[in-house]
Amino acid sequence: MPSITKPLVPQLDLPRNAIGLTVRDYEGSMSTLCAGCGHDSITAALVRALWELAVEPHMIAKLSGIGCSSKTTAYFVHGAHGFNSVHGRMAAIATGAVAANRDLLYVGVSGDGDSLSIGLGQLCHAMRRNVRLLYIIENNGVYGLTKGQFSASADVGSTMKKGAPNALPPIDPIMMGLASGATFLARSFSGDKEQLVPILKAAAAHGGFAMVDVISPCVTFNDHEGSTKSYRYTRRHEVRATEADFIPIRREISAEIPGNGTRQVQMHDGSLLTFRSLPEGYDPGDRALVISYLQERAANGEVATGILFVDEKAPDMHERNGTAMQPLARMTHAQLSPGAALLADIQRAWR
């Protein structure tokens, strides 16, 4: 299965973003996933979001683990460095990358197997460290590359293609994030680009670990009757819990007066996140309230989507560490080595 390069046909009439690039500049190589795969829709939303954010492609770093989802880092922003690592370990590799250079936008793409089984521990720890990283879980409830075993996000009673039901309770990454100190948690649906694009943009602007759990049906192994991660099921059970607009800092912020029930969050980089619609009594900054709201929705069999929790004040990994603003990877040796004279001095302690 070789990689297929997309031909770069110049299309002069395509709209350009703030730095003069078209959406094609944010695409990657051709997807080798199954036709109709939810992951490809997420890739498309991501391309759109990054184009709209007008990030310089080489200032993006793409990281992934192993699985169908993890292959998608090849399918967007060909001008960005990519790192397709090992199964379940992207979070740690991204943590190291962020440690080395705090100036880039890090996009991690993972799946439910990669994140909720083999990589569960690393995901939790990246969240509690508040590593500045947009972390997408392309969640289809199934292991695709190994042909259809249940993953840890499969719901109780959800059935395999041949009818066998899943008996084990699912791990919900949002609930886990709320319990592990995550600072940005969102859920969306690969079939809902209108909602997904602003969520991805807000997540990219978040000053810490931003997890976006995207229900992404597997057309080959988990899109049948009886699946709770199918297009049909998700469309029927999705409840947009919150609806939000994201206004990047580059665009002039109009003096919109927040209407009734709206709430604004100033993002780390100065951009604005405005919740247009929130359920009554819902506060996306109140961990306990969000937990109880989501538990109620889940009990009703509903899939609550939207930006579900935001804490923009928590320090990220670098702020907590007190790291210099200059990326560590760009420091010169002269900045880092104490020098010969000091070595003589240090060694007095060992006489």
Partner 1 sequence: MTLTAPTRTRVNDFALKLANVNGTGSASANSLLMQAIFRMGVPVSGKNLFPSNIQGLPTWYEIRVNHSGFVARAEEYDLMVAMNAQTYDRDIAEVTGGGYLLYDSTWPLDPRLIREDVTFLGVPFAHLCNEHFSGARERILLKNIAYAGSLVALLGIGADTVAQLLEEKFGGKPKLRESNQLALRLGVEYANEHFACPLPIRLEAMDGNDGKILIDGNTSAALGCVYAGATVAAWYPITPSTSLMDAFTAFCDEYRTDAETKQKNYMIIQAEDEIAAIGIVVGAAWNGARAFTSTSGPGVSLMNEILGLAYYAEIPAVLFDIQRTGPSTGMPTRTQQADILECAYASHGDTKHILLFPGDPRECFDFAVKAFDLAERFQTPVMVLSDLDIGMNDWVVPKLSWSDSYKPDRGQVLNEKQLARLTAFQRYAEPDANFVTARTLPGVSPLGAYFARGSGHTESGVYTEIPDEYQQVVDRLAKKHRASARHMPHPVIERRPGAQVGVVTVGGCDLAVREALDVLEERGVPADFLRVRAFPFGEMVEEFLAGHDVVFVVEQNRDAQLRSLLTLETGVDKGRLRSVLSYGGFPLSARTVVDAISAELTPARDA
Return the amino acid letter for 351.
R
188 binds partner 1 (CB under 8 A): no
Alpha carbon distance 32, 54 (integer Å)? 27
x/- track of binding to partner 1 for residues 305-324 (CB under 8 A): ------------xx--xxxx
2 binds partner 1 (CB under 8 A): yes
Alpha-helical (H) ranges within 265-307 are 287-299
x/- track of binding to partner 1 for residues 63-102 (CB under 8 A): x---------xx---xxxxxxxxx--x-xxxxxxxxxxx-
Q: How far is the CB of 24 from partner 1 (least distance, A)?
A: 13
325 binds partner 1 (CB under 8 A): yes
Options 9-17, 57-65, 191-199, 238-246: segment touching partner 1 (CB under 8 A): 57-65
240 binds partner 1 (CB under 8 A): no
Q: Which is nearer to partner 1, 4 or 239 (CB)?
A: 4
Q: Which is nearer to partner 1, 12 or 344 (CB)?
A: 344
343 binds partner 1 (CB under 8 A): yes
Asked if 88 contacts 114 with a C-beta cutoff of 8 angstroms, the reply is yes
104, 137, 214, 278: which one contacts partner 1 (CB under 8 A)? 104
Asked if 207 contacts 132 with a C-beta cutoff of 8 angstroms, the reply is yes
Query: How crowded is residue 219: how many other Cβ atoms within 10 Å of its Cβ?
Result: 17
121, 157, 301, 315: which one contacts partner 1 (CB under 8 A)? 121
Q: Which is nearer to partner 1, 68 or 244 (CB)?
A: 68
Alpha carbon distance 320, 84 (integer Å)? 28
Pairing of the two strands 303-310 and 184-189: antiparallel
Residue 272, beta-bridge partner list: 247, 266
Alpha carbon 109 to chain centroid distance? 7
Q: How far is the CB of 12 from partner 1 (least distance, A)?
A: 20
Q: How far is the CB of 289 from partner 1 (least distance, A)?
A: 29
Residue where the block lists tokens 């960005």: 80
Give the HSE-up count for residue 333: Cα atoms under 13 Å, Cβ half-sphere.
Answer: 1
Q: How many residues bind partner 1 (CB under 8 A)?
A: 65
327 binds partner 1 (CB under 8 A): yes
Kindly list the strands in the beta sheet with 243-247, ordered across the sheet, starting from the edge strand earlier in the chain: 243-247, 272-277, 263-266
Alpha carbon distance 123, 303 (integer Å)? 22
3 binds partner 1 (CB under 8 A): yes
Asked if 119 contacts 87 with a C-beta cutoff of 8 angstroms, the reply is yes
Task: Kindly list the residues in this chain that would bind partner 1 in the complex (CB under 8 A).
Answer: 1-3, 56-59, 61, 63, 73-74, 78-86, 89, 91-101, 103-104, 121-122, 124-125, 129, 317-318, 321-325, 327-331, 333, 335-340, 342-344, 346-347, 350-351
